[in-house]
Amino acid sequence: MAFLHLLILSVQSSSLILLVAVTGYCCAKYGILNASAQKGLSQLTIKLLMPCLLFAQVAESIDADTLLQLWPLPIFFIIISLISGLLGLIGGKIFNFSSSQTRFVATGIIFNNVTSLPIGLIQSLVATEAISFLLWGDHDTPKKAAARGISYALLNTLLANILRFSFGTWLLKKEGNIDNNRITDVEQVNTENTPLLSSSHQTFRAPFSNLIYKIKEFMNPPLYAALIAIIVGTIPTIKSLFFKDSTIFYIVITRPAQYIGDIAIPLTILLLGAQLNNLSSSKSREILGIISYIMTCRFIIMPIIGILLVVMTREWYFKDPMLWFVMMMTASGPSAINIMNMAQITGTFQEEVAALLAYSYLALAPMVTVFMMIMLGVIERLTNN
C-alpha cells in the first residue's frame, strides 16, 4: 500500500510539471509566447528570479556547523559528478558524438534533479509506512527524519547550483561560441603617435584586465547569488540580520527575494514547454539517440552506482538511514530542470535541452517508483544488519 501511495504521489508530482510545460507549449504555438517574449522572460529568470530563489533558499538553510558535520555529502557529490562526467566522455567515444554533442551529453548526465525530486519524495514518505525504513534509532520520529533529509538535500542543492552555474555553463558552450563582449583591445596596437607612458600603462594593465575578463566570463547572476548565500548563511550575525522577521534587511531584501524567487521554477517549466514548440520533428529524431543514452545513464546506470557506493562506504560516517537515502538520490533521477537556465545563459542547446527534459519527465513517474522501491529495500537490509 505504501508503494502504491508513493506511485500516486510520484505521478501527481510529475504530472504537475508536464501540465505546466504543456501550457507553455500551447502559449508558444498560438503566439502568446513568441520568440521575443521567450527571450525576455529567459533573461528575467536568469538575471533576477533564479538569483533571488538561490539566495532565499540556500542562505536560510545553510550554516557553518552543517557544512562541517556533513562532509560525506560533498565528497559523495564530487565522486558522483566525476563518474557522471566520465560516462559522458565514454558515450561520446562509443557513439562518435561531436565535441559539442559530448559536452551536451555530459551536462545531461552530471546535472540531475537534487532538489525538488528528493525533497518531494521525502515529504511524501512521511505520510507512508516507508518512512520507518529511514528512522535513525529508537527515538527518531518521521518529522525529525524528514527535517534531516531536507537539510541534506538543500546542501546538495547548494553544491549543485555552484557547479551548474560555473562549470556547467562553460560545458554547454559550443565550439566557436565567442562572447561578443570580450575585450579585444587589451594588447592594443601601439603606433609612433602613441605616448610611451600610455603604452607602459596599458602593458601593465593587460594581464589584470584578462584576469578580470576570465572571472567575469566564469561568473553569472545565479552563481553570484549562491556565493553571497554561503557568506550570509555561515556568518550568524549577518544571517540574523537577513532572516529575523523584525529586521529591516528581512523586510526590504529577504522577504521580496523569497516572493520573487518562488516564480522562478514555474516560469522555467513554462518556458521549457515553449521551447518544445520550436523543436522541429527532424531535429527531435536526430538527437533521440543522444537523449536515450543520457536517460539510460540517469535512470539506470547512475542509481546502481550510487547504491553500490553507499553500501561500500556506509561504515565511514554516521549511520543515518536518511543520509544514505539522500546520497543514493544524489546519483539518481532525471536531468535537472534548471539546465534549461544554463542553456539560456550560454544561448546554446535550448531546443535539445527542452526535448531531453520533456522525455525525462515523461519517464519519471514509473522510473522513480522502481528505484525508490530498490533503495528502500537496500536501506532496510542495511539497518537490519
Q: Is position 330 within any domain?
A: yes
Q: Is position 25 within any domain?
A: no
Q: What is the pLDDT of residue 107?
A: 92
Q: What value does the mean pLDDT take over residues 83-112?
A: 92
Integer Cα distance of 301 and 74 in angstroms: 21
Domain range for residue 66?
Answer: 40-132+139-174+207-384
Helix axes 264-277, 35-44, angle to 10 degrees: 150
**C-alpha dist (Å) from residue 131 to 126, 151, 366:** 6, 16, 20
* Least reliable range by pLDDT among 102-111, 185-194, 356-365, 371-380: 185-194
Judge whether 139 and 200 are in contact, CB under 8 Å: no
pLDDT tens-place string over residues 309-333: 999 998 888 888 999 999 999 999 8
Q: Is position 200 within any domain?
A: no
End-to-end alpha carbon distance in the chain: 25
Phi, psi of 133 (to 5 degrees): -70, -20
* Least reliable range by pLDDT among 130-134, 176-180, 262-266: 176-180
pLDDT tens-place string over residues 170-208: 888 765 454 443 333 337 333 444 444 444 455 555 666
Q: What is the pLDDT of residue 261?
A: 87
Tell me the CATH number at 67.
Answer: 1.20.1530
Query: Does 81 score more than 60 pLDDT?
Result: yes
pLDDT tens-place string over residues 27-59: 999 999 988 898 888 889 888 988 898 888 778
Name the residue with higher pLDDT: 208 or 231.
Answer: 231
Tell me which residue has cell 548563511.
Answer: 233
Cα torsion 318, 322, 325, 329: sign: negative
Query: Does 280 score more than 80 pLDDT?
Result: no
Name the residue with higher pLDDT: 202 or 225.
Answer: 225
Tell me which residue has cell 500500500.
Answer: 1
Domain total in the chain: 1
Instruction: Give me 376's grid cell.
Output: 528502500
Judge whether 173 and 346 are in contact, CB under 8 Å: yes
Q: What is the pLDDT of residue 184?
A: 34
Name the residue with higher pLDDT: 20 or 242.
Answer: 242
CB atoms within 10 A of CB 206: 14
Judge whether 90 and 148 are in contact, CB under 8 Å: no
User: Alpha carbon 136 to chain centroid distance?
Assistant: 28
* Amino acid (1-letter code) at residue 26: C
Q: What is the pLDDT of residue 366?
A: 78
In whole numbers, what is the pLDDT of the chain averaged over residues? Answer: 80
Name the residue with higher pLDDT: 2 or 75.
Answer: 75
Q: What is the pLDDT of residue 84?
A: 95
- The HSE-up count of residue 23 (CA atoms within 13 Å, CB side) is 11
Which residues on adjacent β-strands are paired with residue 112? 335
Q: What is the pLDDT of residue 150?
A: 77
Q: What value does the mean pLDDT take over residues 91-110?
A: 91
DSSP conformation class of 166: I
Q: What is the pLDDT of residue 185?
A: 36
Q: What is the pLDDT of residue 310?
A: 93
- pLDDT band of 296, cuts 50, 70, 90: very high
Name the residue with higher pLDDT: 94 or 366.
Answer: 94
Q: Is position 9 within any domain?
A: no
Integer Cα distance of 10 and 232 in angstroms: 34
CB atoms within 10 A of CB 48: 17
Q: Is position 186 within any domain?
A: no
* Least reliable range by pLDDT among 117-121, 206-210, 290-294: 206-210
Judge whether 232 and 58 are in contact, CB under 8 Å: no
Q: What value does the mean pLDDT take over residues 239-246?
A: 90
Number of H helices, E strands in the chain: 21, 0
- pLDDT band of 218, cuts 50, 70, 90: low
- pLDDT band of 80, cuts 50, 70, 90: very high
Q: Is position 165 within any domain?
A: yes
Q: What value does the mean pLDDT take over residues 227-237?
A: 88
Q: What value does the mean pLDDT take over residues 349-363?
A: 83
Q: Is position 8 within any domain?
A: no
Query: Does 225 score more than 70 pLDDT?
Result: yes
Answer left, alpha or beta for residue 97, where phi above 0 means left and psi between -120 and 50 means alpha: beta
